[in-house]
């Protein structure tokens, strides 16, 4: 009789820094605020606290939001 072995699946987790910055970009009300949050995203990426894909997504969100204030 055979037995089916269940291997654990790798779940992709989203970092807290990413979640927080997405929420901050939603309530951001100035170009300077967007620039500040973009610099925080870059710092988090450089220190390894967010992934590359999270960084690129945050950068896209921040730049789109910043264009609304230009």
| pLDDT tens digits along 31-62 | 999 999 999 999 999 999 999 999 999 999 99
Section 14-32 average pLDDT: 95
Q: What pLDDT, on a 0 to 100 scale, did the predictor assign at position 3?
A: 85
Residue closest to 18 by CA, chosen among 47, 46, 53 = 53
Domain definitions of the chain by residue range: 30-69
Inter-residue contact 51 to 12 (CB < 8 Å):
no
Residue closest to 36 by CA, chosen among 14, 69, 3 = 69
Q: What pLDDT, on a 0 to 100 scale, did the predictor assign at position 10?
A: 72
């Amino acid at each position: 009789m055979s037995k089916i072995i269940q291997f654990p699946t790798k779940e992709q987790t989203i970092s807290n820094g990413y979640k927080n910055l997405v929420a901050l970009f939603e309530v951001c009300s100035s170009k300077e605020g967007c620039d500040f949050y973009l610099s925080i995203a870059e710092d988090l990426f450089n220190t390894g606290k967010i992934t590359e894909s999270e960084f690129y997504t945050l950068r896209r969100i921040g730049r789109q939001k910043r264009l609304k204030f230009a």
